[in-house]
Amino acid sequence: MYAYVLSLHITASALVIGSLFMQSLMVVMVLRLKNPEHVAGTRIIQRRMHWFIYYPILAVALLSGLWVAWATETLGQKWLHWKLVLVVLLIGLGFLTGHALRKQAVPKPFAMAVHIVIFLVALCLVYFAALKPV
């Protein structure tokens, strides 16, 4: 059972990070579109992706991650605390991206900065999960 839930957690986590990348890229893409119909269509896709892909898969990743931490008795370990801080930061970036989707005018440097921060946080999450350094 542990292997199945761990596989589910890893897959869900990859999908969460991937959907955040796609959302932040779509925010930048909307800034480049000139046709109002294209902008409106892209915004519909963005909202659907955020509500029907990001949030459900985030719930799966969180629940399966808590189950894995409980099953392996790592809840009190220091590396997991740092990983959870990064998870909260990643969730915050997801909410920030969702807020940017609702705004009409998002500055391009801000959208690109969010994209870079998502990458760096994801890199640190993988580091803590794989090496358990602390």
pLDDT band at 63 (very low <50, low <70, confident <90, very high): very high
Phi, psi at residue 107, to the nearest 5°? -65, 140
107: left (phi over 0), alpha (psi -120 to 50) or beta: beta
Return d(Cα 79, Cα 74) in angstroms, integer. Answer: 9
73-to-28, 49, 132 alpha-carbon distances in Å: 42, 34, 14
Which is nearest to 87 in space by CA: 134, 11, 17, 7? 17
Residue 38 has pLDDT above 70, yes or no: yes
Is the pLDDT confidence value at 48 over 90? no
Q: Identify the top-confidence range among 49-53, 71-75, 105-109.
A: 49-53
The residues spanned by each domain of the chain are 2-131
What is the rounded average pLDDT of the residues 16-36?
84
pLDDT band at 47 (very low <50, low <70, confident <90, very high): confident
